Structure 1
Amino acid sequence: MDATAASLLLDHHARNARDLPWRTSPRDPYRTWLSEVMLQQTTVATVTPRFLRFVERWPTVEALAGAADEEILGEWAGLGYYARARNLIACAREVALRGSFPRSEAELRKLPGLGAYTAAAVAAIAFGEDAVAIDTNVERVAARVFGIADRQAAGEAARGWFPEGRHGDFAEALMDLGSAICRPKAPNCAACPISSACTAFALGTPEAFPAPKVKKERPHRFGIAWWIRRGGDVWLVRRPAKGLLGGMAALPGPEWSDQRPTVNPVAIHRHGFTHFTLDLMVVPAAEPPEGEGWWQDLSHLGSAGLPTLYRRAAQAALAAEREPRLAA
């Protein structure tokens, strides 16, 4: 059954594979690696235009390695999970020093920021190695085909399913199937090329596999962002290189706290991070705090490289400034 289902899926993929800008022929390891990093916890629809901007600006890994940190971080702004951007910079420079990407999963794992999945995906897709790339889409498809409720166990079961010599093609086929047909909710089983081999489909309960993750309640925190204006400019700083949003442009402010500060904000932006939520209170201030920063023209705020948290906080502050004039 496993081999038959794999063959059916590969045939379907050959006819229906998504046309994505990183799926070049022959495969470019730089584009494969860049796309895999960008796609971590981010949708294809969001990544595609940002990927195209990246490769237009930096068409090779050597070009990316030679760019300034601030330029890359600014281009990454809005994609979230900013540790990925810092790892991207470190990895590009390591690859440039080596002269090329290593071709094996084991050697790729030695590069900064390449975990088990990314190393396997690049090895299989870009270099044709029989490496097994298991992501959430692969786990979900395997859970349903094999009727395994536990996500991790389903991923392990999938390892024996990859056809020899076709690991890269099969990984992409599974990813496409999980994205377009075998979706987390409302899977389109009628369009699935392997429904005849699917245990969950036979049971009539595809959405029951894999078992849903238990959601943990996230703690809530508070922060202050100083809103410092000079004519048509606002004062921005760069966050410390290490830590959350490391190296990104930001509104200045103290460390975030579990206690709500006693301030009178002009705007509050609530933001959700992976492990906690945050109320960022935008508070007017007269003078820039000590330390390095710069005056940013508000008409070009979009080019400052602000991550979503600070971009939306600044937009909320600007909207609050306009309200009295609108009311009048």
Structure 2
Amino acid sequence: MSPVLYYALPTMGCYIMLSLFLLRRPRLLHTPWVRAFESSLVAHRAGSGEKLESTMEAMENSKAQRADLLELDCQLTRDGVVVVSHDKNLLRQSGLNQDVDSLDFEDLPLYKKKLEVYFSPGHFATGSDRRMVALKDVFQRFPRMPMIVEVKEENKELIHKIADLVRHFDRNKITVWASEKNSIMQKCTAANPEMPFSFTVFRGVWILLLYYLGLLPFISIPERFLLIFLPSIINRTYFPSSSSTLNRLLAVVLKKMIMRKSLIQHLEGRGIQVVFWCLNEESDFEVAFGLGASGVITDYPTALRRYLDNHRAGAGAPHT
């Protein structure tokens, strides 16, 4: 055996054993984040499978189901009002082919009478309330309801207005920044660093890489939430118009890479809430909670509430 291997192999073995040891005991090196609220039941677009998405009626319905959080998306109108809307262009939601930022708040159209639930293709939601709402009004109506606010546009004015509203309504601890893009998240955390924030796509991939390299137990993590999709829903709901061989292969690969119970338990042990989206079937709830996740983002808060209540009453209650 060469001198290099003589020393390298034992060193590598010790490193692997130490990494695995610390992976299972995350609190030896890190003080876990204190949770201001739980996230067992997160209502996607305020519960878009049961009422029209992002309306006050949907939010009231989710509150009635004891949702832990509302998941909302925000856009900015021409006259500077932060409005709750998933889409920037209003065609899908209202039939009007115009962007939110091309209209004043008072001129925003009503939602269509029914909207297809994106993660449940072929299913539609209806409701008596079809009005788009300002984030300010949402904060006034639900002052202590925790919320995830996702920013999709790299719009500095939008970000600063959200940050100011959160401060004004004293919601720093119960409003979560969310965005897929690193550049947007950096602007969000700079605008209001007191708000907890979630992983971006880049940061999620980075954490996954650290996990497989055995470095994750040694790295500090500022994020409080990992909002992650369940790979098994890819061909069923995430790409509802296609089930190609490539999509099936992608689902298998991502399932092997992401659905690692030891990874999720390590993050949870550090106070980072792992929440799977967007799950609408009981079998998917079972998988998510079986992996040790904190919660689920769903379009159907009534179904998830029924599942949680039934399992909390039984002997095999999931981790929530």
Same-fold call, TM cutoff 0.5? no
TM-score computed with the length of structure 2 as normaliser = 0.26
Larger Rg: 1
TM-score computed with the length of structure 1 as normaliser = 0.26
Q: Higher helix share goes to which structure? A: 1
Choose between structure 1 and 2 for higher RCO, CA contacts under 8 A separated by at least 6 residues: 2
